[in-house]
A and B are shown apart, each in its own frame.
Chain A
Amino acid sequence: MSLFRIFVNQLEEDDEDMSQATSKKVITREEWEKKLNAVKLRKEDMNTLVMNFLVTEGYVEAAEKFQRESGTKPEIDLATITDRMAVKKAVQNGNVEDAIEKVNDLNPEILDTNPELFFHLQQQRLIELIRQGRTEEALEFAQEELAPRGEENQAFLEELEKTVALLVFEDASTCPVKELLDISHRLKTASEVNAAILTSQSHEKDPKLPSLLKMLIWAQNQLDEKAVYPHINDLSTGQLEDPSV
């Protein structure tokens, strides 16, 4: 093949590459900013999004103040948040009996319809008894309250056995399941209770804001297949970055 032919072939290949690249729609920064400015975004909706965050995370005082300062109505009764936070706190402090009582005061159906949650709360109670060194009480409690659940459900039985194993070790720090004694396990149980209460109140257990942020990244990834346009690559700066053409 002559050099000329090779050269022409190369140009034709480049042409093909170019047309692959330019088959995506190119949107300039200027055009993109025009589109951004044309979006009708209501302040009230953004306020609602923030209120949803405060309420779902349980920040009652902040939610109250926000209602006063912005006029945004909380989507659920703030009093129920206080109750919910009291339950959460009780679990976080290891007062599981107290927490169970409060949950039942709030809504007895929650534990009735949530056997897994109830088991985890009872398990936490057992852990606290073991932590306090009340071995006899712990064993009694395990036999009376937890063993029957274990008989009904294989997963519960396994959890129960793990928990009881704590008793076998004099020095808990050598026990392979010592993470059960960790404070983080209390937080895990607390989170579970929080979610169950929210669900029982027909409220979603997670704030919407993080989902929207994920949706932004997802939407940009989707649009990347068809267009070249300014991205926001860093959520914490929100800076528009020009397309790298």
Chain B
Amino acid sequence: MSSSPSPANSANGGDTTNAGNGQDLNLLHFLDKVRLAATRDAKEDEGEDSPTELNTINSAGGFLVVSPDKLSVKYTNMNLHGHDVGVVQANRPAPVKCLTYYFEIFVKDSGVKGQVAIGFTKESFKMRRQPGWEVNSCGYHGDDGFLYRGQGKGEPFGPKYTKDDTVGGGINYATQEFFFTKNGAIVGKIPKDIKGHLFPTVAVHSQNEEVLVNFGKKKFAFDIKGYEVSERNKQQMAIEKISIPPNIGYGLVKTYLLHYGYEETLDAFNLATKTTVPPINIDQGNAIDEDDSPYALKQRKILRQLVRNGEIDAAMVKLREWYPETVQDDKSVVCFLLHCQHFIELLRVGKLEEGVKYGRLELAKFVGLTGFQDIIEDCFALLVYEKPEESPVGYFLEDSHKELVADAVNAAILSTNPNKRDAQSHLHSHLEKLLRQLTVCCLERRSLNGDQGETFRLHRVLDNNSTRR
């Protein structure tokens, strides 16, 4: 796959990154990776806030009273007709970029007629009607146990509910269904036809009805986490049924080790699998010679060790000796990353003065260049912090950045392979290509699903390691 040229690479009159050097154009990908590392995304959060309390502004004003803590509601009026329902929504719509959303109500008092309801409505809902009595809303009503979803007439759905019952309403974004629970057990589910953001909604309609709402601050009666696990398992079981070529995992691991130059691991792996696993055919990209032997494996291993150990000078010496074409142009991406790393290593041990001297000598020349400007500025910023590792530019000091530089050097060497099959395969390992495809497919699928539901995140799969007890 092609690397997208850095957006800053558009010609700017003055000297830009060396767009002429074909090899360099591909390695710009690594600069983009540095930029991506700078944008620390918050953990799992897709940036959605959840409902926390009832909305007193957009509620059925004179018909009900919401408590000061905004977590309970009481019907104060007399139920005279169908347009004086005491209905209230949550302060925010349900988040959508997750597997489910769920909330519960506890019926404290079922009043005169027990016409409590729980459901979901849109922002524009008429705040005097029961959820489910208007289009684009749904509600599970306590007086008849019916499910209403847009017509005056509901359909039989579940048990009635009344005083002391805990009833829950939820959305399953994977199956695009509403589901409801009573006292900890699922009552039923229906397809969710309503698109867009939905507000958890609660309604009371006869005198003295009172309902408490739980948006998650307290433990739910229903085991929503367990429900999510079993839903994910359902999907997982469907996935496990799919067949893949036998032993392909071995082939991919082997190619991965070969691609990144983990020579010793590869040797141990080959030894261990020699007698137990038949050879697999995986595309090896640029990492092999014309006779199928590894290309520059030892050299790539050595260079990776040097970079990881912070011995940048030694690394540059070796590169000049073995693969001069990669460092010939002093303004190339490889040179840039290595010089930066040398600078970073000096700062890491507190040698700020030496760092500044080195910066003047080797890094100043990058300051004018549009492709490098932003990164070089961030890197220099390390100088001003007392505790650079805790600063916004602290990522330069992390292992992951060293890894990035080592990978860039590795890619540069691979690109010198005269037996190159194509111009791009030194950039990504085979495994990486597959994982990227998986990620994009899941993202695209979610986006076409109204942007609702979970998506694939590798580190979430990895974190979920231990079997839950």
Residues of A within 8 A of B (CB): 25, 27, 32-46, 48-50, 52-54, 59, 61-62, 64-66, 68-71, 75, 199, 202-204, 207-220, 222-223, 226-227, 229, 232, 235-240
Name A49's contact: one of B32, B304, B458 (CB within 8 Å).
B458
Contact between A39 and B269, CB atoms less than 8 A apart: no
Across-interface contacts of B151 in A (CB, < 8 A) = none
Q: Which residues of A contact B252 (CB under 8 A)?
A: 209, 213
B441-A61 in contact (CB<8A): no
Q: How many A-B pairs with Cβ below 8 Å?
A: 190
User: Which of B240, B248, B459 contacts A235 (CB under 8 A)?
Assistant: B248
* Cα(A239)–Cα(B421), bound, Å: 13
A40-B41, A240-B437 given. 13 additional CB < 8 A pairs?
A39-B439, A39-B440, A50-B431, A65-B267, A65-B268, A66-B257, A71-B308, A203-B466, A208-B462, A209-B252, A219-B456, A223-B441, A232-B434
CA distance A212 to B438 in the complex (A): 8
Q: Which B residues touch A49, using CB under 8 A?
A: 431, 458, 462
- Within the assembled complex, what's the spacing in Å between the Cα atoms of A45 and B458? 7
In the bound complex, CA of A191 to CA of B256 (Å) = 26
Query: Please, how many angstroms separate the alpha-carbon atoms of A218 and B438 in the complex?
Result: 9
Closest residue to A230 on the B side, CB-wise? B437
Determine whether B350 belongs to the interface, using a CB cutoff of 8 Å to chain A: no
What are 22 A-B residue pairs whose CB atoms fall within 8 Å in the complex?
A36-B440, A37-B3, A37-B32, A43-B400, A52-B465, A61-B268, A64-B268, A65-B267, A69-B301, A204-B467, A207-B249, A208-B461, A209-B252, A209-B253, A212-B438, A214-B239, A215-B239, A227-B448, A232-B433, A236-B248, A238-B430, A238-B433
Q: Tell me whether B15 is interfacial, beta carbon within 8 Å.
A: no
Q: Mark B434-453, 1 if CB is under 8 A from A, else 0.
A: 11111111111100110000
B14 lies within 8 A of chain A by Cβ: no
B262 is an interface residue with CB less than 8 A from chain A: yes
Docked Cα-Cα span, A39 to B4, in Å, equals 12
Is B283 in contact with chain A by the CB < 8 A criterion?
yes
List B295-310 residues whose CB lies under 8 Å from chain A. 301, 304-305, 308
Q: In the complex, which of the residues B3, B280, B434, B461 contacts A238, with contact meaning CB atoms closer than 8 Å?
A: B434
Q: Is B29 an interface residue (CB 8 A)?
A: yes
Chain A contacts for B245, CB-based, 8 A: 235-236
At the interface, yes or no: B349 with Cβ under 8 Å from chain A?
no
